[in-house]
């Protein structure tokens, strides 16, 4: 007695992209089902994590009254350049960050994602968990008409499917919206630990006055053994999120194990005191797409749209992903609503979604940093060389040797030339500028 399940829209994946899409559509009255394979929405998700409120506000103007499970607002942000036994810090702390709601908060996804899904449920979306989508169903002309799940009588039909399956985009690949599986050159692997620590210790170590302050530090150089990649140290309410990420290719080439890189970073003399006495509570690994603007999948085809990590929507330089995902999910949802009004689910109509993204920060930023991955790929020494150089300069600069300062400046220039020819430095800087300016 198989029942035919028919909806106005199907969303695959309960991350920020999928949930934003489901919420948007359900709120406008579309009969929407969100299918998530995890035990609960968010069960399988983790990130650094900084969440940006602008994207949440666009989705839910009254989000603040709905008491989202934020950890700490960011009141200090910046970079540390790590050498093997020293650090140069450049962070920005400001009273201007202190307003409610703040611009950005640290967040634990196992708490945030269920909260967001609850908002989608309240808007009328049907959230089904512990159910994986095995494949997308198409009619004889290739138009998407629904999905097949891994449950008995598990086919679901709808004129529109939004795929928000995250970085491991198997459905997107099987639909032919992208030609290849992610090559190891264009995907980063990150590992993270959540270390639980009393709030008062966190506050003392990071110089925070209370739970109303928080820090997010991104770390380069020795954190990733000088290889292209970043590490991070974020403060949560009663814990620290610490992690490292590098291109998968680097792990393979250098035969590194992710947890060893993280363990090494945790034991760094500059880092270790921040973690002292903390208890590792959670460990996880996750991929980050670094595919870039030019290698994104097709974002729309007949009856289907792709949003978030599944489409490679990440700005690695600013560690932004969730806000791109949420914005894209919302825009895909809005396009689906218009498609229902027009009764047109063709690729041509749905391409409006891509247009909307091109006009927003999502694809503008992706376009601007389109050369970032190539830059790191062709300048693999960049982080290591310059992080070490900065540390050596600092040591020389801050130590009095009883020699004239003019001589010290010459020594500093000499130190740079030892590492990289004048021409090499110029080339690195030109490349960096191009990668930043798009």
Q: Which residues bind other proteins (CB under 8 A)?
A: 3, 5, 33, 126-128, 130-131, 149-156
Using CB distances below 5 to 8 A depending on partner kind, what does residue 248 bind out of other proteins, ligand FAD, none? none
Tell me if the bond preceding 417 is cis, omega within 30° of 0: no
H helix intervals, 133-210: 170-174, 199-206
Using CB distances below 5 to 8 A depending on partner kind, what does residue 308 bind out of ligand FAD, other proteins, none? ligand FAD
Q: Which two tokens mark 201?
A: 């210790």
**Contacting ligand FAD (CB under 6 A), which of 48, 73, 239, 297?**
48
Cβ atoms of 39 and 129 closer than 8 Å: yes
CA distance 50 to 235: 10
Residues 21-40 close enough to bind ligand FAD by CB under 6 A: 35-38
Q: Which is nearer to other proteins, 40 or 79 (CB)?
A: 40
Q: Which is nearer to ligand FAD, 81 or 306 (CB)?
A: 306
Here's the x/- map for ligand FAD, 250-289, by CB under 6 A: it reads as ------------------------------------x-x-
Q: Which two tokens mark 64?
A: 């603040």
Shortest distance (Å) from residue 157 CB to ligand FAD: 16
Cβ atoms of 244 and 190 closer than 8 Å: yes
Using CB distances below 5 to 8 A depending on partner kind, what does residue 322 bind out of ligand FAD, other proteins, none? ligand FAD
Using CB distances below 5 to 8 A depending on partner kind, what does residue 127 bind out of ligand FAD, other proteins, none? other proteins
Shortest distance (Å) from residue 233 CB to ligand FAD: 12
**Contacting ligand FAD (CB under 6 A), which of 165, 213, 218, 392?**
165
H helix intervals, 139-183: 170-174
- Count CA atoms closer than 13 A to 241's CA, side-chain side: 27
**Contacting ligand FAD (CB under 6 A), which of 50, 145, 160, 247?**
50
- Per CB under 6 A, 309 contacts ligand FAD: yes
Under DSSP, is residue 395 helix (H, G, I), strand (E, B) or coil?
helix
Shortest distance (Å) from residue 8 CB to ligand FAD: 19
CA distance 332 to 327: 9
Residues 313-342 close enough to bind ligand FAD by CB under 6 A: 314, 319-323, 325
Q: Which is nearer to other proteins, 194 or 386 (CB)?
A: 194
Q: Which two tokens mark 186?
A: 């264009």
Which residue in 311, 308, 305 sits closest to 350, CA to CA?
305
- Per CB under 6 A, 164 contacts ligand FAD: yes
- Per CB under 6 A, 17 contacts ligand FAD: yes
**Contacting ligand FAD (CB under 6 A), which of 7, 9, 13, 231?**
13
Using CB distances below 5 to 8 A depending on partner kind, what does residue 130 bind out of other proteins, ligand FAD, none? other proteins
Cβ atoms of 11 and 47 closer than 8 Å: no
Q: Which two tokens mark 259?
A: 């947890």
221-253 per-residue burial string, b: 16 or more CB within 10 A, e: under 16: bbbbbbbbbbbbbbbbebbbbbbbbbbbbbbee
Using CB distances below 5 to 8 A depending on partner kind, what does residue 37 bind out of ligand FAD, other proteins, none? ligand FAD
C-beta neighbour count of 269 within 10 angstroms:
10
Q: Which is nearer to other proteins, 68 or 114 (CB)?
A: 114
**Burial of residue 400 (number of CB atoms within 10 Å: 0-12, 13-18, 19+):** exposed
* DSSP per-residue letters across 170-199: HHHHHTTSSSSPPPGGGEEEEEEEEEE--H
Positions touching ligand FAD (CB under 6 A) are 12-18, 35-38, 44-45, 47-50, 132-133, 164-166, 171, 190, 192, 243, 245, 286, 288, 308-310, 314, 319-323, 325
């Amino acid at each position: 007695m198989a029942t035919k399940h028919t909806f106005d829209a199907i969303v695959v994946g309960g991350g920020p992209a999928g949930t934003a899409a489901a919420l948007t559509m359900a709120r406008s009255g579309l009969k929407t089902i969100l299918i998530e394979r995890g035990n609960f929405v968010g069960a399988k998700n983790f990130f650094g994590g900084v969440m940006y409120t602008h994207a949440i506000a666009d989705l839910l103007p009254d989000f603040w009254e709905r008491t989202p499970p934020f950890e700490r607002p960011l009141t200090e942000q910046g970079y540390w350049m790590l050498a093997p036994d020293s650090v140069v810090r450049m962070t920005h702390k400001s009273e201007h960050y202190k307003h409610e709601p703040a611009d950005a908060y640290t967040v634990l996804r196992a708490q945030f994602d269920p909260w967001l899904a609850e908002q989608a449920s309240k808007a009328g979306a049907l959230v089904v968990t512990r159910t994986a989508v095995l494949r997308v169903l198409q009619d004889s002309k290739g138009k998407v008409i629904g999905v097949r799940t891994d449950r008995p009588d598990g086919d679901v039909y709808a004129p529109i499917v939004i795929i928000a399956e995250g970085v491991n985009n198997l459905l997107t690949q099987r639909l032919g919206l992208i030609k290849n599986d992610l090559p190891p050159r264009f995907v980063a692997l990150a590992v993270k630990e959540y270390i639980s620590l009393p709030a008062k210790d966190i506050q003392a170590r990071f110089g925070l006055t209370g739970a109303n302050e928080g820090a997010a530090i991104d770390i380069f150089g020795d954190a990733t053994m000088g290889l292209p990649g970043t590490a991070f140290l974020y403060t949560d309410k009663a814990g620290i999120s610490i992690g490292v990420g590098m291109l998968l290719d680097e792990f393979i080439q250098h035969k590194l194990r992710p947890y060893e890189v993280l363990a090494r970073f945790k034991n760094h003399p500059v880092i270790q005191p921040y973690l002292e006495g903390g208890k590792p509570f959670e460990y996880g690994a996750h991929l980050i797409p670094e595919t870039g603007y030019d290698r994104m999948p097709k974002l729309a085809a007949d009856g289907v749209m792709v949003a978030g990590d599944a489409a490679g929507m990440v700005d690695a330089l600013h560690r932004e992903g969730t806000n791109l995902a949420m914005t894209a999910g919302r825009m895909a949802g809005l396009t689906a609503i218009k498609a229902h009004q027009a009764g047109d689910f063709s690729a041509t109509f749905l391409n409006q979604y891509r247009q909307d993204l091109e006009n927003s920060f999502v694809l503008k930023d992706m376009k601007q940093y389109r050369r970032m991955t190539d830059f790191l790929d062709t300048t693999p020494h960049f982080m290591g060389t310059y992080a070490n150089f900065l540390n050596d300069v600092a040591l020389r600069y801050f130590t009095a040797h009883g020699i004239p300062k003019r001589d010290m400046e010459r020594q500093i220039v000499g130190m740079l030339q030892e590492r990289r020819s004048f021409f090499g430095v110029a080339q690195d800087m030109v490349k960096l500028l191009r990668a930043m300016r798009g």
